[in-house]
Chains A and B, each alone.
Chain A
Amino acid sequence: MSALVSIRDLRVHFPVKGGRVRAVDGVSLDIAPGETVGLVGESGCGKSTTGRALLQLYTPKIAEITGEIRYQGNDLVALGKARGATVKLRPFRKDLQIIFQDPYASLDPRMTIGAQIAEPLRYHALVPKKDMAAKVAELLETVGLSPAMAARYPHEFSGGQRQRVGIARALAVSPRFIVCDEPISALDVSIQAQVMNLMVELQDKFHLTYLFIAHDLAAVKHISDRIAVMYLGQIVELAAADAVYDTPLHPYTQALISAVPIPDPSQRTRSRIRLEGEIPSPLNPPSGCRFHPRCTYAETACKTTEPPLTEVSPGRFVACHPVARGVRFPIREAPASTA
C-alpha cells in the first residue's frame, strides 16, 4: 500500500509553566488514498492536535513538533520549521484541508458566504476573477445549498447549512485530503445523517481521503474504513472499523466501546466494562503503558515499559504487552454486526 499521508513518530508538545503538555506523543499512521481513517478517543487524548499538526496549523512558537509527516515525498514537519515556511507550505495547504466542529466559530460573521468560499480560491489564485461567481455557485450546489445563498451572511444559516458552507470552503481548492475535526458533533440528530451522507458522496465524487476525528463512536464506525483509538497522546489500537467495534483487543478500546449507549432499551442489561477514574494529565503521563493505572489486566511490565504498537494479526495493531503475547481478554457478549 502506498500511503497518501504517512505519519511517523509524531510528537506535539506544548510548553507550559512547569512543564510540557505531551498532547501527541509518538503517533505513527499511514493513510491510503481514498480511505477514511477514524480517529477516536476522549477529551485530551490528542486526536484534534494530531489533525491540526498534520496540517501544520501550529507555529513553532506554540508547539514543539517532532517526527515526520510525509506527503508526496516531502516532510511537512521539516517544512514547517524551515525558513519561509509559509511559502514552502503553500502548495500543500491547497491539497490538505480541514472541516471544523463548530461552523459558528469558523465562519466570519461579517463576510458573505460567497466571499468566504471565494477566499481560498483567490489566495491560491485558482480561478480568474470573472469566473469566481460561477465557481462559488457551483460549489454551493455541490454541497446542497442554493447558489442564491452566496450573498447571505452566516447568521442567516442554520447549523447544518453552516457546516455545508464549511465543507464547500474546504472543497473549493480541490483538496486530496481533508481532516474532518468533529464535523457533526454540534449538529442536531436529524441533520447529522444529512452531513455524513454528503461527506460520503463527496468522497466518491472527488476521490477524497478523510481523517475523521470524532468522539461519537457510532458515527465514526459508520463512516470509516479503519479506526485508530487514541489514549493520552498515543494510538493504542488500529484496525478495520468492524474489527475495532466487534472484537476490540486493547482493554481501553473494550471499555470505550462497551460505554457507547445503544438506542435499544432491551440492550440495557448488556454487561459493561466499568472504567474507574479519569484520564491522567498529559502534563505528567504515567510511566510504561499510559493506561496501566486504570487497567484491570496491568502486569509488572506495563508499569515500566511502554508497549509498542504491534501488528497482532494482518492489519490489526495493538499497543498492549499481554495482547502482543497472544493473550485475549474477554469482551462483553456483543451481538455480531449484521452485514
Chain B
Amino acid sequence: MSAPILEVSDLVVEFRHDHGYFAAVNGLSFTLAKGQTLGIVGESGSGKSVTNLAVMGLLPRPPARIPRGQIRFHGEDLVNAPEKRLREIRGNRIAMIFQDPMTSLNPYLRIGRQLTESLEIHQNLKRQAAKDLAVHMLGRVGIPAPERRFDQYPHELSGGMRQRVMIAMMLLNRPEVLIADEPTTALDVTIQAQILDLLRDLQAELGMAVTLITHDLGVVAGMADHVIVMYAGRVMEEGRAIDLFRNPSHPYTLGLLQSIPRPDQRVDRLYSIPGRPPDAGSITQGCPFAARCRFAKPACTTAAPPLVSVSATQRSACIAIDEVLADPARRELVQRAQAHAGPAPTAGGGA
C-alpha cells in the first residue's frame, strides 16, 4: 500500500455544552491511501459528519475544540494549521460534496460562474480558459447540453443534476481526497445509482481517495474498501468491507445488519435494536451502546472498551466479542449471507 494521503489519529472533537464539554468524536483513527474508499457509517449523532468538518478545517472553534489527536495531510498537521494554509488545501486538494446540493450552491449565481470562480481562485485561469474547462467538466459528469446548463441557475436543475454540478465543481481542481457526506441521500434510487457509478468511474480515472459518509449500509457495501462503524462519537467496529458485512463482530454492527430488510431475502419479523441513540450532548460512561446492547455486562458501563483485533483486517470495540461471535442469531445471519452470494471472504473472524 502506498503512503497514506490522509492520516487521522486518536482524534477527539468536543463541543461546548451546558456543563463543560462533550465529545462528539472520541478517539477516531484512520488512514486513507490513494485510490482507496473509506466508508464511515453511523446514525444521527454518531459523529460522522463532525469528523468530516474537522478534516476540512471547517469546525467553528469555539464552540468546538480538538483537545487531542492529529489530522495529517501528506504528513502536514491540519489541526493547528493557519486558516490561510487550510484555504489552500480545502476545495483544492481536499474537496467535499454534501447531501443537499441545493444548499451548497448559490441560488443567485449561474452554474457557470460558480464553477469558474474556484478555477480563477485556485488555478489562476483566464475567464475563457476557465469556461472551456468548466463546460468540459460538466459534460464529463454526464450533464447533457453542458453549454446551456452553464448559463442556468441552480433552481433550473433537478436534484441529480445539481449533485453532478457539485461533483464537476470539486473535480475541477483535481483533488487528491474527496469527502462525500451522504452524497446520494436526497436522491432517488436510480439517480443514486448513476451518481455512485460516476464517483466510482472518476475515482478509478483520477486515483482519488474517497471518504464516504453515510447511514446507508447498502451504499457503503457497494463502494467502500474499508468501513468504520461509529456510534455516539466512538468507533464500534472497523475493517475490510467484506469482513465487516460477512463477519460482524460488534453487537451494534450485528444489530444494524439484522434490522435492515434485505430485498433479496425474506424474514417475517425484523430484528430491532431496542431503545434509541443517545441525544447529542449526553455524556455516557463506558461503551455508549451498552444501554441498548443485548450482550452488555456490568463492566461495559464503567470504561469504554478499546478496539481489539478480531482478525488481521478487522477490529471491534467490545469486551464480549467471543460471545458475539458465538451468538446463534449472528451465525444465522452470516450463513444466510454466505448462502446468498458471491465469493466467500478470504479473511476474517470466526463463526
Contact = CB atoms under 8 A, between A and B. Distances in A.
Contacts of B222: 261-262, 265, 267-268
A158 B245 CA distance: 28
A241 B73 CA distance: 49
A43 B215 contact: no
Interface string A148-179: 00000000001111000000000000000000
A274 B196 CA distance: 12
Interface string B326-340: 000000000011011
Interface stretch (B50-58, B102-110, B171-179, B184-192): B184-192
A40 B267 CA distance: 20
B270 A197 contact: yes
Interface string B244-267: 011000000001110111111111
A261 B221 contact: yes
A190 B277 contact: yes
A232 B160 CA distance: 17
Given A264-B337, A265-B241, A275-B194, A190 B342 contact: no
Interface in A244-280: 245, 255-257, 259-269, 272, 274-275, 277-278
Interface string A184-221: 00001111111011001000000000000001011101
A196 B269 CA distance: 9
A262 B193 CA distance: 12
Nearest to B270: A193
A218 B261 contact: yes
Interface in A283-339: 334-335, 337-339
Contacts of A197: 269-270, 272
Between A261, A262, A335, the greatest number of chain B beta carbons within 10 A of the residue's beta carbon is seen for: A261
A190 B259 CA distance: 7
B197 interface: yes
B262 A275 contact: no
Contacts of A189: 43, 215-217, 256, 259-260
Contacts of A191: 276
Nearest to B142: A276
A266 B341 contact: yes
B340 A264 contact: yes
A215 B260 contact: no
A194 B272 contact: yes
A257 B263 contact: yes
Q: How large is the interface on B (under 10, 10 to 19, 20 to 34, 35 or more residues)?
A: 35 or more
Contacts of A160: 276
Contact of B264 (A188, A193, A337, A339): A337
A277 B345 CA distance: 36
A272 B193 contact: yes
B94 interface: no
A30 interface: no
B82 interface: no
A300 to B, nearest CB: 24
Contacts, number: 155
Nearest to B274: A194
B343 interface: yes
A245 B271 CA distance: 22
A259 B266 contact: no
Nearest to A221: B263
Given A259-B192, A278-B158, A339-B266, A264 B341 contact: yes
A42 interface: yes
Contacts of A218: 218, 260-263
A242 interface: yes
Contacts of B265: 337-338
B68 to A, nearest CB: 28
Interface string A73-110: 00000000000000000000000000000000000000
Contacts of A263: 217-218, 220-221, 245, 257, 260, 262
Interface string B229-255: 000000000000110011000000001
A122 interface: no
Contacts of A192: 259-260
Contacts of B194: 274-275
A262 B218 contact: yes
Nearest to B43: A188
A245 B263 CA distance: 7
B276 A158 contact: yes
A222 interface: yes
A268 B196 CA distance: 12
B273 interface: yes
7 contacts: A193-B259, A245-B263, A261-B193, A261-B221, A265-B222, A265-B242, A338-B336
Given A188-B276, A275-B190, A278-B161, 6 more contacts: A219-B261, A261-B222, A265-B242, A268-B221, A274-B193, A274-B194
